[in-house]
């Protein structure tokens, strides 16, 4: 379980970094910051096949345990809270395209990222985390932005 939590912390580190920068008022472009967070996490895991194998083994062995579900819930809450805060800044700045709100954007983005990583972890997956995962992130983020922000 400790290895699994260490790997989760590695992924969560990206969200914690984003949250710290946001809390310090250093996130000038919230949607760009979310894109950078997602890109960094995807690139880290796409470039590390050993992480994928370890995640697969632990996912099969402990995913049905109560301890795993409790840790998984804490992890989700932490990442979604960070995303919600950053998307909240985008909403305040009127950068989110209607009908998106900070809550719907954060939840949708979280589930898109989670689904991306789950698909990547499947046995015999032909899912290319780097190219397919980045395409998913870009599609999600472009749906959030006002057209004038996307085109310049």
Instruction: Check residue 1 and give its pLDDT.
Output: 42
Domain count, the chain: 1
Domain hosting 37: range is: 2-150
Helix (H, G, I), strand (E, B) or coil at 94: coil
CATH number, domain with residue 84: 1.10.357.10
Per-residue pLDDT of the chain (152 residues; tens, 9 = 90+): 444 455 566 666 777 788 888 888 888 888 888 888 888 888 888 888 787 887 777 767 666 666 666 777 777 888 888 889 999 999 998 989 888 999 999 999 888 888 888 888 788 888 898 999 999 988 888 888 754 554 44
- The per-residue pLDDT for 102 is 92
Judge contact between 55 and 122, C-beta under 8 A: no
| Residue 64: per-residue pLDDT | 64
- Residue pair 58/4 in contact (Cβ under 8 Å)? The answer is yes
Q: What is the pLDDT of residue 121?
A: 79
What is the pLDDT at residue 36? 86
């Amino acid at each position: 379980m400790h290895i699994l939590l260490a790997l989760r912390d590695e992924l969560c580190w990206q969200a914690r970094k984003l949250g710290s920068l946001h809390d310090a008022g250093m996130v000038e472009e919230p949607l760009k910051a979310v894109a950078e967070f997602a890109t960094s996490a995807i690139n880290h895991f796409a470039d590390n096949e050993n992480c994928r194998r370890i995640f697969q083994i632990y996912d099969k062995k402990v995913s049905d345990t109560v301890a795993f579900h409790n840790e998984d819930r804490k992890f989700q809450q932490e990442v979604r809270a960070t995303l919600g805060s950053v998307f909240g800044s985008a909403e305040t700045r009127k950068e989110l395209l209607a009908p998106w709100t900070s809550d719907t954007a954060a939840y949708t983005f979280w589930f898109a990222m989670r689904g991306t990583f789950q698909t990547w972890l499947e046995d015999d997956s032909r899912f290319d985390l780097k190219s397919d995962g980045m395409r998913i992130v870009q599609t999600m983020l472009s749906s959030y932005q006002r057209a004038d922000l996307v085109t310049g």
